[in-house]
Amino acid sequence: MMRQESEKHAETWVFTKNGKPIYIRPLRPTDNVLIDDLFRSLSPRSIFFRFLRHWKTVPPELTEFLMKIDSKLNVAMVALEKRQSGERVLGLCGILRKPGSEKGEFAVVVRDEWQGIGVGAKLIEASLPMARDLGMKELWGLVSPENTVMIETARKLKFTVGRDRESGFYEMEMHFGGTKTFRFHGSANFSEECYERS
Ligand SMILES: CC(C)(COP(=O)(O)OP(=O)(O)OC[C@H]1O[C@@H](n2cnc3c(N)ncnc32)[C@H](O)[C@@H]1OP(=O)(O)O)[C@@H](O)C(=O)NCCC(=O)NCCS
């Protein structure tokens, strides 16, 4: 199948802070082995920060779910290390559309040993225009209050970040135009609700 023009334009080389080249591109339906490998590499801390669940491992159904995401409606971008032996996914950013709306739920994860060198920020920066190009107008994400790195990253990328008094979690919001706000009645994306959506 021909890849969409917008997807081809989204592919780019960038450099980490320590000068390593990484390739950012949309997730492909054939990336399941690479995504499984990313998920298997994550520490419990990263799993919790990403999924807001105290899982020891990421359920394999999540990879299956990701592979079925409709790229005409949702954004899924990966950062890759390209080696002679093959590719390795270093990070994944998902912006899933709330069904039938112009609102997207955003979440990102970077392989533990690659955190803190610019991969997350670059991946999010590459994903935001994709969401806008797909017609999303508002983005929302939920962050654990202990996740100071994500809170700081979101602020630097011009998300509005505020603490929800009831839950204690932080919420990140971005509007591509207009001033409307929205709120999901769910938690981090790839949750059980997302299974229902797929
Ligand atoms: C949160 C996460 C995606 C950020 O990606 P990253 O590649 O580690 O972050 P970056 O290197 O791009 O840094 C972005 C900003 O975070 C802050 N930051 C990064 N590492 C930091 C550290 N060790 N201590 C404090 N702040 C830090 C800095 O402000 C940095 O901006 P700067 O480089 O301009 O100073 C990544 O750490 C991660 O996957 N964490 C586990 C999963 C998670 O928390 N997901 C978020 C769910 S929404």
Domains (range + CATH), the chain: 5-197 (3.40.630.30)
Q: Residue 177's pLDDT is what?
A: 75
Give the model confidence (pLDDT) of 81-96 as tens digits.
999 999 999 999 999 9
- Ligand 1, residues 113, 139, 153: which to mutate, most atoms within 8 A of Cβ? 153
The SS3 assignment for 142 reads strand
CA distances from 74 to 5, 94, 159, 196 (A): 16, 8, 19, 16
CA distances from 155 to 80, 112, 151, 170 (A): 25, 21, 6, 12
| CA 109 to ligand 1: nearest atom | 39
Find the 100 Cα to ligand 1 centroid distance in Å. 31
| CA 110 to ligand 1: nearest atom | 39
User: Please, what is the average pLDDT of the chain?
Assistant: 88
Among 88, 131, 85, residue whose Cα is nearest residue 106? 131
Give the model confidence (pLDDT) of 123-146 as tens digits.
999 999 999 999 999 999 999 999
Using N-to-C axis directions, what is the helix angle for 119-133 and 148-156, rounded to 10°? 50
Residue with tokens 């990421």: 58
- Residue 13 makes CB contacts below 8 A (sequence gap 6+) with 21, 22, 23, 24
Helix (H) or strand (E) holding 83, with range, is strand 75-83
Global pTM reads 0.89
- Ligand 1, residues 115, 170, 172, 189: which to mutate, most atoms within 8 A of Cβ? 115
Residues of the chain whose pLDDT is less than 50? 1-2, 179-198
β-sheet bridge partners, residue 91: 79, 110
